[in-house]
Chains A and B, each alone.
Chain A
């Protein structure tokens, strides 16, 4: 399997529910980032969590990082129809300026 795998691949929920997406990776990292992409559009940065952090919040977003398990989760609380998008995790290794390695993504659909 590849660096940065998300599960589930697709998630369909009702408005108001919480959505949890998971990401696993293989190598040691400097940080992990979550991005959102509306269909056919650009990548919007959501949140960055450093390897020495365990949890981070931003508005309705909560990200956790477990470096021992090489996994992260993104929780969106009180979801809205406008949250419908693809969500990708991306990891950066410890080398300065190194590439981001993206996961396969989770397609989230929030039904009104």
Chain B
């Protein structure tokens, strides 16, 4: 069964450092998303990506964040200068395109900023 894969599964970084979280969505899917979940809290939307550009972003997704789909398969989330409060589980998801279908989520990357 096709799946969304995320790497690394866990990343520890120093405050102020840049991190890149990687995702390989399901091929032939059209919409790509990043969500995050701070420990013990609900899952929050960060950004959606369609047709090689950001289609929607939340207030959380400020100038410190950027996304790319550099080679048609990988989908990356970059945090330029990490803060302690960026510590969270980051989930990538992809969607085939049809409205009434499930979003397929990766297993997540746990980011710890120290």
- A positions within 8 Å CB-CB of B: 4, 30-31, 33, 35, 40-45, 48, 50, 88, 90, 92, 94, 96-105
Q: How far is the CA of A101 from the CA of B48 in the complex (A)?
A: 12
> Does residue B75 face the partner (Cβ distance < 8 Å to A)?
no
Contacting pair A41 B108 (CB below 8 A):
yes
- A97-B30, A98-B56 as given contacts; A48 in contact with B100, CB under 8 Å: yes
Contacting pair A100 B56 (CB below 8 A):
no
Point out the residue from B30, B42, B95, B106 that lies within 8 Å of A102, measured CB to CB. B42
Q: Mark B77-107, 1 if CB is under 8 A from A, else 0.
A: 0000000000001010101010111111111
Point out the residue from A41, A45, A88, A97 that lies within 8 Å of B42, measured CB to CB. A88
**Could you name 15 residue pairs across A and B whose Cβ atoms are closer than 8 Å?**
A30-B99, A30-B100, A42-B105, A48-B101, A48-B102, A90-B43, A92-B99, A96-B97, A97-B30, A99-B58, A100-B33, A100-B43, A102-B42, A102-B44, A102-B45
Q: How far is the CA of A101 from the CA of B103 in the complex (A)?
A: 12
Q: How far is the CA of A102 from the CA of B35 in the complex (A)?
A: 10
In the complex, chain B residues 23-74 whose Cβ is within 8 Å of any chain A Cβ: 30-31, 33, 35, 41-45, 48, 50, 55-56, 58
Contacting pair A33 B91 (CB below 8 A):
no
Shortest Cβ gap from B110 to chain A (Å): 8
Contacting pair A103 B42 (CB below 8 A):
yes
Count contacts between A and B, CB distance < 8 Å.
Answer: 68
Contacting pair A104 B55 (CB below 8 A):
no
- A88-B42, A88-B43, A97-B50 as given contacts; A33 in contact with B102, CB under 8 Å: yes
- B positions within 8 Å CB-CB of A: 30-31, 33, 35, 41-45, 48, 50, 55-56, 58, 89, 91, 93, 95, 97, 99-108, 110
Q: How far is the CA of A93 from the CA of B44 in the complex (A)?
A: 15
Excluding A31-B100, A99-B48, A102-B42, 17 further A-B contacts by CB distance (< 8 Å) are A4-B42, A33-B102, A42-B108, A43-B108, A44-B105, A45-B104, A48-B100, A50-B100, A90-B43, A97-B48, A98-B48, A99-B58, A100-B43, A100-B45, A100-B103, A102-B44, A104-B41
